[in-house]
Structure 1
Amino acid sequence: MRRIAVGLAWIGALAFATSHAMDAATASYTTARDRAIAELNDAAPHMPDAELVRRDHASLQKLGSMMEGIVGPIHLEGFPTKGEYNLDTLLKEMGFGMLDGMSVKSDDGQILAVVTTESLLRIWLAQNSEDLQHPPKSGSMDVVDAFVSGEFYTSAMSDSDIAYNKYAELPVDQGAGIARAILFKPYQDYPAPYAPTGVLVAVMRGNRVVLFRKALVAPDIPECSAAYARDSKKAREQDAADRGAVAAGRVVGPSVDRDETLSNAFIHCYALRLPRTASYPALVREAQALVDLVK
């Protein structure tokens, strides 16, 4: 489940600026964003809801114009050249803390892209290390680690409590830059025993970063479903035995999250067997097609 990012360390942008070159437009944007977030959330407890929404919307419009200038025209075949500001709200509630950038849907509405810069991505990663459940080694999650992390895409692209669970990485030719692709399934509880329903792709070319999300049809793998059903039956039997032991006054072992264990085992099985399925080459081609959109 995605955690609501109520305590992001927005001051981290200043630390980033001391060790990385940041252009004037990006520096002006992060300063204006941090100021707007602080002022709005300080005023929130004392402000009527209607006025709070109005001020949030007005601030988003101003910051969106600044972001549009930083990102510039969007050059992706099959997409409009102009997108919308990717931040959903400046209030520290559901939808807060998404990746700074511009979001745009393909002309057919099937693909979502978020376009940003390497500078903004690295600032965001430094600020969100705790929310990404990634203990920072040098102040932030590594770009490659982020690009294959379900938590990264959840925090960067999802404005709801829907999380993106990674099933498997797909091999793509990254060309002159960095590119990664993962199969995923959105979920609120545990995603097993169902197949993934989409692909997430991240590409970095120079200072340009593009994230893609696209729905697709991935195969069911009967061996994994059968193993999940067998293990689930054993888990239910064990739960019943534990309840009976407790009722009889006997001591049982420490409680475990059997649903999480079962889900992780199913996904491991799926990732292991997926490359042997007839559908696998087509899935890789779909991911590669998204990578190739970024010139």
Structure 2
Amino acid sequence: MYSGTISPNPTRDRYTLKRVSLIQVLVMKVLLATLIAPLASLFMAVAAQAELRTQVVEYNHGNTILEGYLAYDDEFKGPRPGVLIVHEWTGLGTYVKQRADQLAKLGYVAFAADIYGKGIRPDNPKDAATQAGIYRADRQLLRDRATTSLAVLKKNPLANPEQIAAIGYCFGGGTVLELARSGAPIAGVVSFHGNLDTPNPADAKNIQAKVLVLHGAIDPYVPPEQVAAFEKEMNAAKVDWQLISYGGGVVIALPIRRLVTTPQRVPLTTKRLIGDRLPTCCSSLKNCFLLLQRKRLP
């Protein structure tokens, strides 16, 4: 058996330490590659799968080709609440598509309807008024176009047909009210600065939906007399309804800040901007879905 001391060798010791350090670095690199790479791949796969999906949807009403816009987020799985969106008097355009995208990111499946027909997108007030006037003069045609659009949404496998609401802006606000008056089986409708008049006020008895109207109090196209007639119509038919009138406002816009995927948990946040006399309501869709929870009046 050998016994004794080992004389220190600085050159050898430095070499040994350097070699050990290199081995440790290599081991760490292998461990990192083994542990982190799969996690990174998983993250990238999830990110790639969970994204906003949009598509143009062609459908027909009689011989008329319509071109709607569907949006959903595939991060959310299975059937979910659906929202039908109806455009302003200029036809289906960027604004309504943005609203559809916002709703999709929050867990809804959103379908922006096309009332006018494929390619009919007025770009000036005169043409817009002409197109809107066609349907305001023929409310049955307006209802039929809206009903056809609703059917497209309800048939989509991502939409829960028992949780469908319809919202509309300006011309679209009046459209969703007519859809409700037709007796459409939907849970709620919201009109943003839409016309409230109808040639058939007795049809309010057909309304199954809960109704929310967001109204600009000085809107010259919806004078106080029209508001009063609407209120009388809703009360006579015992509709579950609310009307919020914004003082000093003509147009109500909806920047959706934060909503969740289930109507029962939509939070209440309201912000109002009067800089250009266009009041802004962030709680509007929230109010719509709160209405869905209330019992219908006897």
Q: Same fold (TM over 0.5)?
A: no
Report the TM-score when normalising by structure 1: 0.25
Higher strand share: 2
Report the TM-score when normalising by structure 2: 0.25
Greater RCO, CA 8 A, separation 6+: 1
